[in-house]
Structures are given as structure tokens and as C-alpha cells.
Structure 1
Amino acid sequence: MSGPGGQVVILEGGTVATMDGAGTGLGAHGEEHASGHVVVRDGRITAVGPGPAPEPAPADGVRRVDTTGCLVTPGLVNTHHHLYQWVTRGLAVDDGLFGWLTTLYPVWGQIDEDVTGAAAAAGLGWLARTGCTTSMDHHYVFPSDAGDLLGAEIEAAREIGLRFMPTRGSMDLGRSQGGLPPDHVVEDIDTILTATAAAVDAHHDPGPDSMLRIGVAPCSPFSVTAELLAESAQLARDRGVRLHTHLAETQDESDFCAERFAMSPVDYLGSLGWLGPDVWFAHGIHFDDAQIATLARSGTGVAHCPSSNARLGAGICRLRDLRAAGVPVGLGVDGAASNEASSLIEEARHALLFARATGGPEALTVRDALHAATIGGARTLGWDDQIGSLEVGKQADLAVWRLDTLPHADIVDPVAALVLGASPPLDLLLVAGRPVVEQNRLVRADEDELRARALQQHRRLMSRARISGR
């Protein structure tokens, strides 16, 4: 779909929630049209507004989509994930974070290119089926002789058709040096920096039509040395890419930073160059007021992962306080081994419910939750100039949710139906104007084949790790 006479897609008749409001705080939701239209040409939005669509200029082809009974939203943006974990779901289901990691690190130490590719394709396929158009991935386990793991998941994203921001993760602080991971799954710092630079140079596309951007993502203060954190920050800024890591996921981590560095997690990362609008942290459950203020002043973002945090009993992120302070906040499903559902629309619901459970009914609105899942996520990834809202000139990444079926038909507010109701059927998912899901099925990949590949690699991995599986 290129050139001035390229294909046009016209969506009209349904509710349109644009999420085009300015700012990062509460209440910035943008326009909504009870019966509206969106027009797409050459992968970009050319019109959005109330009522029927204007007649398009001559084009090679025009596709009209009747969205009556549907809600049209920006595509959802996933700001934290570990795709390789898709084939290790259902293990250590009653453990907290450290017990869960202790169980799973020996399994993850056996992954290879085939495992990673199958897991990523299945995980990204399901993300698409639940309304996600852009996903990041934090891959930090690189066993020796495992093949091109980053390349395998990049190919999976191309297969499914999603916009993708994989990050080259790393661990160099093994158990023998006081870190959490076993020594056999960590790398030395020179290997990490060389491989990270090579990944950015080979794959990162900073252009406005990019489908693929790369980030730099050492794993966490428990598994990474200060030297690696500082060197990674320098490398990322030299190459103009973003920085990501886990932070303040458990109270133990705060205690660790206080005991070892005499600083809070945010101050420790800040001392190593890890604050700024090109940085976002995963989880951020245990930030105090001072740390939230530091994040806000520096423009540092947070990926809120409510389901995974609850599954591991880690706590509840202070979402309202972060957003009220102006911190960019997006949502993440986190790794599939700590969130077997891996549905981003479910994260919006859980973010809302958990915020209200701790802060009362006015802590977060349904539109705040949708904001975090769309433009909030895009801002957290530094991609909000191109995606995250339905605005003229932006990429046509959008979801069409069917709300006229039994679970939703008599819910008065369509945004509430989406966020608070059961996950609705997905009539259409466009990424850069190209269909990825239609009528609740993937367009570019065969779901039965994805399932079979993932199950085959799950069994193979369990056999290698000597764990009983299905």
C-alpha cells in the first residue's frame, strides 16, 4: 500500500474513542464520537471524526468497514514482556518472585532459537488477538550456543504482523558474585556490550514508518553489575535508543539497594545515568513519594504489570499517584510464565480494579485505564508521535471491538463495556493499515500451526530441563 493512489480503508458507523488528549496525567482522554468514522490511506489515518466519512479521493481500492455495534480504539501497546516464557507457563504457580525465578532459571537456561521463535510467535499471536498492535520484549537469557534468539523473535513479529520493540537484555551478576541468577545463564560484560551494539546496528529502524525498534535492557539490580548498567546507558545514548530494566518489583529489592548502595532503587539507577525521557522501568511497585517525584521531574516512564504483580504476590503499583505526578505510564502483560492469560485488554481491567481496590472508586476512570493501554504505552516507549491515538497523520494502528453480542449489548458506555466487561470479540485489527486480525482470527498466521509449534517446543524444552510436562 504505497503511493498517492494507494488503498483506502473507511471505517464508519461505530463509536470512536480517539485517545488524542494531550499530557500524561489523569483526565487526558481525547475526543469520542458516538457514531464516527476513521479513514486510512497508505497505512496512515487521513480523517477521523463524527458521522459518516467524507468521500475519499480516487484510489487503487476502497474497503468499507461497517463498525455499527462496535468500538474503534487505538491499538493497544504492550510495554513489558518476556516472550520466551510462553512455553514455560504453569510452573511455580504458587511461588513468589524469588521462588518462581529459582524454579524457572534452570529451565530458561535450556532455551534456543527454535524454542524462542515458537514461543514468540504464539505470544505475539495472542497479543494480536487481544487487541495489541505494538509490543516490546525484554529478552535477557542468552545461553551459549543457543543461536540467534533476538533474530528469532524479530522474525516472529514479522510473521504475525505486529509493530515490535525487542530489547537486548543481559545479566552479568551470577549467584557466585551475590546475584540471583545461576552462573551458567549470565554473560561477561564484553560479550554483552558487543552483542547489544550489534543488535542495534543490525535491526533498529528509527524512521517514521518503522515496524522495528531496538532497546537496551539489562535485567535488574539483582542480576546486573553497576558497570554494566553504566556502560549500557552510554551505549544506548550513543546510538539513540531507549533503556529499560526491572525496578522496585519487590520490597526485597528496595532493601537490597539500601543495604548494598545506601540508596533507593531510583537513586541508585539515577547515579548510573538511568533517568530521563529515554528510560522506562518495569513494575515500579515500591516507589515512595520521593522516587515518584524524581521520575516525574526526569520524564522517566513506568510499565505497570498488574496481573503478573498479583500472580507473584509482589504488590500493587501506585498507578494513580504516578499518573497524577505526570509520570508516563503504560501497561505490560509481563512474561507469560507469570501471567498465563497474556491479554493486554485484561491488563487495562486489572489496572482499573486494583487502583480502585487500594485508592477508592475515584482512583482511576475507565478512560484512564484505556489511556494507559494506548497512548500512555506509546509515550512510555517513546513512540507516541506515530502510534497510540487516532489522529490524522498517525499510523493506522487500530482495533475494532464488537460490543453488540450477549456480554456487552446493553452496557450503556462502550468504553466501560470494553474495560469492565468480558473481553469482546475483535472484529478487526489493523497495523499500519494492514489487517492482522479479522473476525477474531489471525490473518497472516495459522493459529493451529502456532499452537502446534509452541506445544512441540514446550515438550522439547521440558525434556531438556527434565521436567514433566504435557
Structure 2
Amino acid sequence: MSVDLLVRDAYVYVDRGWEIADGWIAVKDKRVHSVGKAGDEPVAAKTISARGRLVTPGLINAHHHMYQNLTRSYAPVTNGSLFEWLTGLYPMWAGLTEESVYASTYVAMTELLMGGCTTSMDHMYVHPRPRLIDAQIRASTDIGFRFYATRGSMTRSVEDGGLPPASVVQREDDILEDSVRLVESYHDAGPGAMTRVALAPCSLFSVTERIMSESARLADKYDLRLHTHLAEDPEEDRYCAEVYGCTPTEYFERVGWASKRSWVAHFIYPTDAEIGRLAHAGVCATQCPCSNMLIGGGSADAMGLRARGMRVGLGCDGSASTDHASMWLEARTALLLGRYRNGPHSMSARDALDIATRGGAACLGWEDEIGHLRPGACADLVVWSMSDVALAGAHSDPVEAWLRCGPAVAGTTVVSGKVLVEDCRPVMTELGDVLREHARHSRRMQCLEA
């Protein structure tokens, strides 16, 4: 029997506890058809030789703000705290349009593919104009990227005691109506979906209690995931104490979000008791190590959360704070940060890879189909590329070498059985035109304050 694609001559990391040296993986009808050792490969319409390289499931980005690559490394706020760079950038983000969001999403997804990511969510919470998420979905469809859009929102402007200007917040009814429209228009709950939608109010200090509780109600009605920032900054603790009379986690529980539907970004400052309660409730967390370290606001203890029973994924976070979209770099940084924090025996490269694959899939509620390469899984995989110089001497453990050596990039990235990166280059012929449009929009936005 013939298959559509065969990747051979590889070290295949199929899933945690299942690795095949000198192995192969076969793809048919957008699914992993079979895996095995050299010598019994099926006939294939297309064959890729990995030349001994590591093959893994595609990495999963569980927290991002793609539009922010329009204001990458913006000098006036690069060394600010979280709240300082937010207040500095909100006025520029008020200039977002459908065209600029399409370009920023296209660039972000291409960059993610080059860093080995095959599925990403995006937390789009700035809405100065309507139908910006529609533009994101057009970009993901044009590329062929597996996309989990989230309908973010803000209702509290500076006038209401929040951080953003009035130009980027919305009325409660408009948010809820558009949430329903997006879900009914785009959310695909079926097997092998390329587009799904979740509800994602920005943060506890940027939306009203009604938006939080109504989002939870809509999630129950439509069987959706829920996402928000939680316990990211000590200033959030002070805000919740003054406004709600409780901690951020207690407020999160009060509005009905402590359930298996929810995953949260950062979760840096909970108490031990709060960690235990949310883990027991089935809430997942996303660590964004590079962003957290650049802002200097602390970072979640990923392995500590896992030890308490909480599923943990990885995220790039927004380009405004991280300035890159490489999930390989996030995985390596998570490994280094974990070992720096808890000692050399606390975390391995396999732990980091598990967080970046299975952990991200758990955040998205999608473990049955993505985050592993078992037969029947979606055919999302990466053949990793690293220079011979970087790998010289690394013979005993390809998975450890993947993060301990480097840098590594995606030599081949396959999404739903389709090659989107080949020989370390994205295959999209429109990329040059999109980059020129991106540059035009980026320069326009960065001159808005002048």
C-alpha cells in the first residue's frame, strides 16, 4: 500500500516513552499512518530523508499576541515593566486595521513554522476595528496553518480605571455578540480541524465581571475553551484586592472559570493552596519564559506546577515583549530556567519537549490528535536542522542535543500532511509581498504618536 509522505532515516520521537532510532514515519490522508524502524518502510508518493536528524511532533504555542510583531523592539518601552510597556504601546495598537492584522498574523505564523510550531493559538484582545479575527483566520487558511483563534476583549479604559485608551476597548454587548458570531462562523469541533475558536477576555483587570461570567456561560453552551492572563504581575494582586476584595485566583474561581475548559497564561504569583485548587479543577497553565525574563517579572515554576498535577504548556507571548516567535527557543529557555531554578536534576530536554507538545495540546484541549505522532494523530511534524559544527561530538542522545546544542531550526515542517517549510525555507510564494505590506503598516503605526 502506498502512503502520501514518508520521512525516513530519522530519530523519531513519537511520544513520551516512545522513540525510534533509525526510524521512519509515514503520512496518509493528513494523518500519521504508521511508524517503524528502517527496513520495513512503505512505498510513498514523496520521500524525505532526514539524514539522521531528530523528528518530533510539531510544537504547540499556547499563548501569543501575533499583532504585536508590528511594534517589535519599540525602543521607548523595551526596558519597561509590564504595565509600562502596555501603556506605552496601547496608543499605537489603536491603529490596527484588517490589513495590518492579516500581515502580522501571516508573518507570525510563518515565523512559528520556521521554529517548529505547527499549531498556535492567538490571544487577540485589542479591537479598535471590527472583524480583525476574521483577518487572522484568512491568513491561517491561506498558509495552511493549524490555528486556535481566541476572541479576546477589554472593556475598562483609562477612564474606567484600566490601562488602555478608550479607542481599543469595547462595549459588553458588542463583545458578546461578536463572540457568538465568530464561534458560529468559524469554530470547527470536528476531527482534524484547522480552525477552532475559544473565548479569552484579556485579564481580570481589563474586563468587567459580566464579561468573565458570560464568557463562562457561552463556553458551556457551545462547548468551548476559555483563556486569560492570570497572576502575571504583583500589581494584579493589588488591583484585585482593591476592586474585588480577593486575590486574582479567588476572583477567577468566583466568576466560574475554575474548570477543565480553562487555561491561563503565566500564573506566576499564586499561593500553594491556589495552585492545588486550580490543578484539581483541571485548569492548565502556559509558561512564557522568554517574555517573563525580558520583562523581569518572574516566571512560573513549570515543573513545580506539573508536580502538583497541573498540565503546563509553552507560549511565545507577544512580540512586543519577546521579539521572536521561536518555540524551539522557548523550549530551550524553559529548560535552562527550570534547571537554574530547581537544580540540574529537576528538568530534562524530554520534559521541555513534553511541555512544548503534549502540554500545549492539553492547554488547547486537543491531546487526542496533536502533540504526538502516534498512528492516527494529525500529520504535524518537524525534521529539525542543526549545523554539523553545532552537533559535533553529540552522538549519544539526539533529544538532549536538540536543546543543549543549537541553535536549531525547522528543516522541514509538515502541517496536516502538507510541507510548509522545506530546506529551512517557508514555501509560501506570497511571503515577500506580505513582508512589504507588514513593513508599511509597522512604520505607519510607529509614527502615530509623532
User: Are 2:13 and 1:17 aligned?
Assistant: yes
SS at structure 2 position matched to 1:216: strand
Q: Distance in 1 between matches of 2:219 and 2:40?
A: 43
**Which consecutive segments of 4 or more residues in structure 1 shift more than 6 A?**
none
Q: Tell me how far apart the structure 1 counterparts of residues 237 and 318 of structure 2 sit (CA, whole Å).
A: 22
Aligned with 1:13: secondary structure?
strand
Answer yes or no: is the 8 Å Cα contact 1:221–1:247 preserved in 2. yes
When structure 1 is superposed on structure 2, of 115-124 and 178-187 the one drifting more is 178-187
**Partner in structure 1 of residue 439 of structure 2:** 455
Q: Find the aligned partners of 2:196 and 2:429 in 1 and give their Cα distance.
A: 22
Give the letter for the 1:184 counterpart. Answer: S
The question of 1:114 aligning with 2:99 is answered: yes
| Contact 2:386-2:407 within 8 A present in 1 as well | no
Once the two structures are TM-superposed, the CA of residue 16 in structure 1 deviates from its matched residue by 0.7
In 1, the alpha carbon distance for the partners of 2:271 and 2:229 equals: 16
CA distance in 1, matches of 2:61, 2:233: 21
Indicate conservation of the 8 Å contact 2:116/2:409, yes or no.
Answer: no
Q: Secondary structure of the equivalent of 1:444?
A: coil
Query: Which of 17, 41, 49 pairs up with 1:30?
Result: 17
Mind listing any 5+ residue stretches in structure 1 that lack a counterpart?
20-28
Distance in 1 between the 2:235 and 2:308 partners? 25
1:230-249, aligned counterparts within 5 Å? 230-249=213-232
Q: Give, in angstroms, the shift of residue 175 of structure 1.
A: 1.9
Q: TM-score of the superposition, structure 2-length normalised?
A: 0.96
Aligned counterparts of 1:230 and 1:37: Cα–Cα separation in 2: 48
CA contact (8 A) 2:31 2:377 kept: yes
Q: Which residue of 1 aligns with 2:239?
A: 256
CA distance in 2, matches of 1:188, 1:95: 30
CA deviation after TM superposition for structure 1 residue 121, in Å: 0.6
Local SS of the residue matching 1:47: strand
Shift of 1:7: 5.0
Give the count of matched residue pairs.
447
Give the equivalent residue in structure 1 for 2:366: 383
Amino acid of the structure 2 residue aligned with 1:8: D
Instruction: Output the CA distance in 2 between the equivalents of 1:197 and 1:347.
Output: 33
Matching residue within 51, 60, 68 for 2:51: 68
Q: CA deviation at 1:147?
A: 4.4
Aligned with 2:264: secondary structure?
Answer: strand
Report the AA paired with residue 431 of structure 1: V
Distance apart, 1:6 and its partner CA: 7.8
Which one-letter code corresponds to 1:52 in the other structure? G
Residue 312 to residue 425, structure 1, CA distance change in 2 (3 Å)? closer
Q: RMSD in angstroms over aligned alpha carbons?
A: 1.5
Matches within 5 A, 1:423-434: 423-434=407-418
> Structure 1 residue 150: deviation in Å?
0.6
Cα distance, 1:447 vs structure 2? 3.6
Aligned residue type for 2:433: E
Offset at 1:446? 4.0
1:214 match: secondary structure: strand
Residue 22 of structure 1: aligned partner: none
Q: Is the 8 A contact 2:386 2:406 kept in 1?
A: no
Any stretches of 5+ residues in structure 2 without a counterpart?
A: none
Are the aligned partners of 2:3 and 2:42 in contact in 1 as well (CA < 8 Å)? no
The answer as to 2:204 corresponding to 1:221 is yes
Q: Deviations for 1:139-180, whole angstroms, at most 9, x for unmatched residues?
A: 01111xx34211111111122221000101101122222222
**Within-5 A mapping of 1:435-454:** 435-454=419-438
What CA distance in whole angstroms lies between the structure 2 residues aligned with 1:448 and 1:7?
33
Would you say the 8 A contact 1:402–1:425 is kept in 2? yes
- How far apart are residue 46 of structure 1 and its match? 1.3
Q: Deviations over 1:93-146 (max 9, x none)?
A: 000101001100101111111111111111111001110000000001111xx3
What letter corresponds to residue 36 of structure 1 in structure 2? Answer: G
Cα deviations by residue, 1:52-106 (Å, 9 ceiling, x for unpaired):
34435xxxx6212211221000001000011111111112100010100110010
Task: Determine what percentage of the aligned residue pairs are the same residue.
Answer: 40
Q: Could you tell me whether the CA contact under 8 Å between 1:10 and 1:53 is conserved in 2?
A: no
> What is the CA–CA distance in structure 2 between the aligned matches of 1:409 and 1:378, rounded to whole Å?
33
> Matches of residues 270-281 of structure 1 in structure 2 within 5 Å?
270-281=253-264
* Residue of structure 2 in register with 1:44 after alignment: 31
Q: 8 Å contact 1:161–1:444 — kept in the other structure?
A: no
Tell me which of 139, 156, 172 is aligned to 2:139: 156
Amino acid at match of 2:435: R
Is 1:194 the counterpart of 2:177? The answer is: yes
Counterpart position of 1:23: none
The question of whether the paired residues in 2 share the 8 Å contact of 1:17 and 1:32 is answered with yes
Q: What is the deviation of 1:403?
A: 4.1
One-letter amino acid matched to 1:270: E
Decide whether the 8 Å contact of 1:42 with 1:433 is kept in 2. Answer: yes
Candidates 182, 192, 211, aligned match of 2:165: 182
Aligned 8 A contact 1:129 1:440 in 2:
yes
Provide the rounded CA distance (Å) in 2 between the counterparts of 1:325 and 1:371.
Answer: 16
Distance 1:223 1:151 in 2: 23
